[in-house]
Amino acid sequence: MSGYPTPHIDASPADFAPTVLMPGDPLRSRFIAETFLESPRLVNNVRGVQGYTGTYRGTPVSVMASGMGMPSIGIYSYELYTVFGVENIIRVGSAGGMTDKVRLRDVVLAEGACTDSNYAHDYRLPGTFAPVADFDLLRTAADQAEKLGLSYAVGNVVSSDVFYHDGQGVAPGCSAADQWRKMGVLAVEMEAAALYMNAARTGKRALAVLTVSDHLLTGESLPAEARQTSFTDMMKLSLETAVAMAEKGSAR
């Protein structure tokens, strides 16, 4: 494999495990590495986007930040898939709950990712593409969530390009949130759709594992520090999923 280092990742393919956890926040990346991984080593720090590789229960696992939004995760996930040989990317991030089916701190496994983004335009498709998670990753994560006894939901999320909307977005009280809610969308976030499209285009696997950090119906929210360090259920679930996927691979 050639083309490394890239402008965004100063590493080699040997520096990354087959599965990479991708939080948006570089500090959350460091927290996961230092809290859960054995012998983590920093493999990338270009622009402060920290990437680490270590082991979890004997299985090599990497964790690297994606930055915020679809353009950012689009760059990092594409390079990991096409240049560094990564097979599975599990986004671990926060989301805004949109229905009474999820509560604050619940885990959401994003089966599909609706979007208001024009990201798919680059593929010049003759229709509308439906970004979905890899079923093997999704099924494995759901099995692990059951074993861990987590409160979780599986369903659609919406990946939005805009955080501060001009009157008609997905912020509390805006009509767009009501429209997505009518379609059964569980939560809103900002990265999953691009990740799923990159995985589809490159023939790799992706899943977004999200924690409800605020809720558009109840107005509840968690402070920034809690978002960085307290989403341990989501982190452990993703790591256990990485181990289970590795075990499946070795059994084939």
Task: List, by residue number, the catalytic residues.
Answer: 214
Cis? peptide before 40, omega within 30° of 0: no
Cβ burial, residue 54 (10 Å; 0-12/13-18/19+): buried
**Cα 2 from Cα 12, distance rounded (Å):** 9
Q: Which token pair is 38?
A: 């054995």
- Contact yes or no for 68/26 (Cβ under 8 A): no
Sign of CA dihedral 56, 9, 1, 69: positive
- Residue 222 has phi, psi (to 5 degrees) of -105, 145
Q: By three-state DSSP, how is residue 69 classified? A: coil
**Cα 191 from Cα 147, distance rounded (Å):** 27
Q: Which token pair is 28?
A: 């959350």
**Cα 92 from Cα 31, distance rounded (Å):** 12
